[in-house]
Every structure is written in structure tokens, then in C-alpha cells.
């Protein structure tokens, strides 16, 4: 399956089979050619797909500028089978090591555009080059949903944050708020309680909805208090955030003093590249997949948080990715694929 006849130049840094061919900020040219599979995104889903594609001996590239993805935002994973408790960075480190055991290239770059070629293959453009591939897996995950209130943008990094693990340590003995009522929001509050003297969970609904085990931890933590049925309308301060303003009084006033505010109100799927390629999305802009992780386009698969899977967890993303790699393998071994992009012709 590995094709050495037709070669293309791309740039970026590549990790392959345990060695870094070019790294850091130094960009150097390297040669690449027709890939069996290009996986976009190197979070738990992308790396899982990479491990399986590597095991199937497909010529594989995984492209991501920020290898690791969302899982590195949590230091407490207690629901990934095989690990009673592990941090996100440690878990993804293991995935990365595992992928290096196979001939999987990890390319530190960002995919900017994808074109469908004549006769069923794809051209994937990174900053300074492109790949040709027979199949694609979108494992592009999500980005933070914004609160979209006055002051949010202005105070981002100066009191407004989106990741407790990254920025929580700035709030030792301070008063912080977490906006949101999901399990992720509650876990953010638990992380912050390790630093702050007081943590308020501010939720627009009647009742927060974490996993029962995290609900118990919240209720047992004396530092954490829940404010339900309340929206933040504005964020104000001088150099740093000082107050937020609620839509209704809490303890007699709408003005509420906080040193820091962590926003965890869900995530938005990064499905734009897929949409432009003609991949079908649902009404939440998530990629629609079937039980084999296939999309509506032949040779295009998707896995993890970017899909219409309604239980977005590391293990579900890894499972979808495994399926996607297997389907891609069946697709390229079952069909003779001749790629024709522009005037460039590649043969198997």
C-alpha cells in the first residue's frame, strides 16, 4: 500500500515511528506521497484512529498543531477503562507513545482546506503544502462555546478563563465562579476548589446535571456553592475582572464580586472543513455518522466529539475512531482507487 512513485513536498514538523524528523519552529521540507489515510486531529479520537490504521499497515498521517486535544484540560479521569485514575495529559501521552510503535506520521500543522479530486481521493492542504489521500477521518473535536456577554472578550485572560487546569492556580485563596451545569463544569469547580477559598457554580437552569459521583463530591465540598436559575449579563472591572452582573438579585444584589470567572457552557463542533467538503451535518453542526463511523461521502469518516454522538467521552471517541480506521481499511482494500487531482495522477 505504500507508494513511493509519486512524491509531493509539504512542510511542517513530523513525528514518525518515535523519531522527530523536524521539530520546534523550524520548518523544513520533506517529501510525502499518496497516503492511504489522513486523520485530521490528534486528540484521543485521532490518535486511536492512527493506532489502528498503523496496525492495518496503512500509510497514515495524523495532522494537528496541538497534539493532545481536549483531554489535556482535565487532570482527573476516572472512567477510562483500565485506569482507575489518570490525568488527561498522562493518558494522551500513552496514546501518543502507542501510535509511535506503528509507522504513523504525526504532522504538527493545521489543515486549511480539503478538495475532492476526480475519481475518489482527496487533496489536503496544510500551511505550506498538501497531502493526497484515499481516505480521511475527521477527528477535529470542538472549541469552547462563549458566553457572548459584554466584557467577556475584554477580560479574557484577565479574569475570564475557559480552563481551570490551565489557569486555576492564579486564584489561590480568591473567589471564583464557574458558569455551567454539566459534568465538565462541575469538574472545573472541583479543580478550582483546590486553589480558591470560595467557588460559585452559576447555572441558568433549575439543577446542575453532573455524573452522580461528581454531584456527591460537590455537595461534600464546603468551598463550593451553587447559584441556580441565574444568568450572567455583564462582566466588569478595571485592569482585571472585578464584578459580574446577574439577571436577578442574589442575596439582595445583581452585582456580584468575583476575582475570576471560568466559562464551561459546552463546546462547538469544529466541522467547517467537513461541511465545505459536502459532509452532512446535523442541526448542531455535528458530523452525522452511521454505526460504522462513515459519513455520507465515500472514503470520509468521522469520530469523537465532532460527531453526532450524544455521549462525548474519551472512550466513545476512541471506539468510533477504531471503527472509522477499520472501515477505511476495508474501503481501500476492497476497491481499486485511482487518484486524479488536477493534472497530477497517482497510481496504487
Cβ proximity to ligand FAD, 277 vs 340, nearer residue: 277
The residues, any chain, with a CB within 8 Å of residue 94's CB and separated by 6 or more, are none
At how many degrees (to 10) do helices 44-55 and 314-334 cross?
Answer: 40
Shortest distance in whole angstroms from residue 274 CB to ligand FAD: 10
Which residues contact ligand FAD (rule: CB under 6 A)?
A: 40-46, 63-66, 69-71, 73-74, 77, 79-80, 110-111, 139-142, 184, 187-188, 270, 273, 304-305, 312-315, 317
Shortest distance in whole angstroms from residue 273 CB to ligand FAD: 6
Cβ proximity to ligand FAD, 188 vs 259, nearer residue: 188
Quick check: 263 and 162 in contact, CB under 8 A?
yes
| CA separation for the pair 227, 254 (Å, rounded) | 12
Q: Which three cell numbers stand for residue 267?
A: 463546546
Cβ proximity to ligand FAD, 139 vs 232, nearer residue: 139
Cβ proximity to ligand FAD, 94 vs 236, nearer residue: 94
Dihedral sign, Cα of residue 2, residue 4, residue 109, residue 284: negative
Shortest distance in whole angstroms from residue 52 CB to ligand FAD: 14
Shortest distance in whole angstroms from residue 348 CB to ligand FAD: 26
Shortest distance in whole angstroms from residue 246 CB to ligand FAD: 24
Cβ proximity to ligand FAD, 184 vs 246, nearer residue: 184
Shortest distance in whole angstroms from residue 151 CB to ligand FAD: 23
Start-to-end CA distance of the chain, whole Å, equals 7
Quick check: 106 and 62 in contact, CB under 8 A?
yes
Cβ proximity to ligand FAD, 136 vs 241, nearer residue: 136
The stretches of the chain forming alpha helices (DSSP H) are: 44-55, 88-100, 164-167, 183-193, 212-220, 272-277, 314-334
Amino acid at each position: 500500500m505504500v507508494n513511493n512513485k509519486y512524491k509531493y513536498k509539504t512542510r511542517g514538523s513530523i513525528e514518525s515511528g518515535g523519531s522527530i524528523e523536524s521539530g520546534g519552529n523550524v520548518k523544513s521540507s520533506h517529501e510525502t506521497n499518496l497516503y492511504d489515510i489522513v486523520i485530521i486531529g490528534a486528540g484521543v479520537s485521532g490518535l486511536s484512529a492512527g493506532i489502528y490504521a498503523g496496525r492495518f499497515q496503512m500509510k497514515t498521517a495524523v495532522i494537528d498543531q496541538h497534539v493532545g486535544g481536549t483531554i489535556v484540560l482535565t487532570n482527573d479521569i476516572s472512567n477510562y477503562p483500565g485506569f482507575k485514575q489518570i490525568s488527561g495529559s498522562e493518558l494522551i501521552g500513552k496514546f501518543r507513545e502507542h501510535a509511535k510503535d506503528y509507522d504513523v506520521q504525526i504532522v504538527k500543522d493545521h489543515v486549511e482546506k480539503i478538495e475532492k479530486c476526480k475519481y475518489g481521493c482527496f487533496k489536503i492542504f496544510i500551511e505550506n503544502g498538501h497531502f493526497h489521500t484515499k481516505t480521511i477521518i475527521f477527528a477535529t473535536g470542538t472549541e469552547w462555546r462563549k458566553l457572548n456577554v459584554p466584557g467577556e472578550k475584554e477580560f479574557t485572560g484577565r479574569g475570564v478563563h475557559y480552563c481551570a487546569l490551565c489557569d486555576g492556580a492564579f486564584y489561590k485563596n480568591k473567589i471564583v465562579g464557574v458558569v455551567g451545569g454539566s459534568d465538565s463544569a462541575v469538574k472545573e469547580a472541583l479543580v478550582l476548589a483546590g486553589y480558591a477559598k470560595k467557588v460559585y457554580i452559576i447555572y441558568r437552569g433549575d439543577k446542575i446535571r453532573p455524573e452522580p459521583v461528581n454531584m456527591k463530591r460537590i455537595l461534600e465540598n464546603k468551598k463550593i456553592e451553587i447559584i441556580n436559575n441565574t444568568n450572567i449579563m455583564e462582566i466588569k472591572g478595571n485592569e482585571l475582572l472585578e464584578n459580574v452582573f446577574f439577571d436577578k438579585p442574589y442575596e439582595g444584589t445583581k452585582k456580584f464580586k468575583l476575582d475570576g470567572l471560568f466559562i464551561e457552557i459546552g463546546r462547538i463542533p469544529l466541522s467547517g472543513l467537513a461541511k465545505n467538503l459536502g459532509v452532512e451535518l446535523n442541526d448542531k453542526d455535528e458530523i452525522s455518522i452511521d454505526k460504522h463511523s462513515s459519513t455520507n461521502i465515500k472514503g470520509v469518516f468521522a469520530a469523537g466529539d465532532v460527531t453526532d454522538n450524544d455521549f462525548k467521552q474519551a472512550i466513545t471517541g476512541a471506539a468510533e475512531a477504531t471503527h472509522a480506521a477499520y472501515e477505511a481499511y476495508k474501503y481501500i482494500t476492497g476497491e481499486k482507487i485511482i487518484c486524479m487531482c488536477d493534472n497530477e495522477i497517482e497510481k496504487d
